[in-house]
Amino acid sequence: MKECVIVDGIRTANVRAHAEKGWFRNVTVDTMIIAVYKALFERNPKVKPEDIEAVFCGTANQTGAQNDIARMGWLAGGYPESVATNGIGQQCPSGMAAVEHAARAIMVGEGDIYIASGVEDMQKVPMAAGMEFPAKLAER
């Protein structure tokens, strides 16, 4: 297997989700993820957006503004349509799952350069918003 290394890591601030006082209360999830991608390319000028094999983006709930945020955020940022994206919905560990998917793809030789990301807006898309649970689940 190929060796996999993390070259850089960037994030926005982790702030309170509050309708009146939250720092990002008027910022959309696509704006946040685009800012992270932009900073990543600015800090690593040798890496071009078209060099990316795929973008993995985790979010706890892919509904509302976070619906297919992997693809929507990438394209809204003006990045190439030729780059594959994959949204990962795994509740709390979705961002870590994005890292795992990128590492696995590199290790097995599917590609060389991936972006693993994650984004949440717990004010506008709270836990379980838009979700329906199977009736049989209540029997557990």
- 10: in domain: no
Which structural domain range is residue 105 located in?
Answer: 29-139
- 81: in domain: yes
Token couple for 133: 């649970």
pLDDT tens, per residue, the chain with 140 residues = 899 999 999 988 877 777 788 788 788 888 989 999 999 999 999 999 999 999 999 887 666 666 688 899 999 999 999 999 998 887 778 889 999 999 999 999 999 999 999 887 777 766 666 667 788 877 87
Query: What pTM does this model have?
Result: 0.83
| pLDDT on residue 86 | 92
- 40: in domain: yes
- 50: in domain: yes
- 124: in domain: yes
For residue 48, the domain's CATH number is: 3.40.47.10
- 100: in domain: yes
Q: How far is CA 138 from CA 11, 89, 94, 132, 135, in A?
A: 37, 22, 24, 12, 6
| pLDDT on residue 66 | 62
- 135: in domain: yes
Q: How far is CA 131 from CA 33, 118, 126, in A?
A: 23, 20, 11
Task: Name the domain count of the chain.
Answer: 1
